[in-house]
């Protein structure tokens, strides 16, 4: 199971390994279930880390007058190029 202090990259890498192991089809059912549960934990950890950093990401957008302004990133936001 992932540790709380594990980095995003390590957690994502382990998640990728788990996916490949399960997709190979050579894993026994019981082991596949254990891997699946571990994978869910890693996926949740990655999501939590991304959510924490999402609020720190800024995007450059044009305002109504055409001036550039930094605004907080919001999911689904449209950028004006």
Digit-coded pLDDT (tens) for 18-74 = 999 999 989 999 999 999 999 999 999 999 999 888 777 777 777 778 887 877 777
Alpha helix (H) residue ranges in 1-81: 8-24, 29-54
> Are the CB atoms for 21 and 27 separated by under 8 Å?
yes
Domain boundary assignment for the chain: 8-72
Residue 47: CA count within 13 A, CB half-sphere: 6
Whole-prediction pTM value?
A: 0.65
Spatial distance between the Cα atoms of 3 and 26, rounded to a whole number of angstroms = 27
């Amino acid at each position: 199971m992932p540790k709380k202090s594990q980095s995003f990259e390590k957690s994502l890498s382990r998640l990728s390994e788990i996916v490949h192991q399960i997709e190979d089809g050579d894993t026994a059912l019981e082991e596949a279930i254990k891997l699946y549960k571990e994978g869910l934990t890693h996926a949740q950890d990655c999501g939590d880390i991304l959510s924490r950093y999402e609020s720190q990401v800024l995007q450059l957008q044009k305002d109504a007058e055409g001036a550039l302004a930094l605004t907080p990133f919001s999911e689904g936001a449209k950028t004006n190029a």
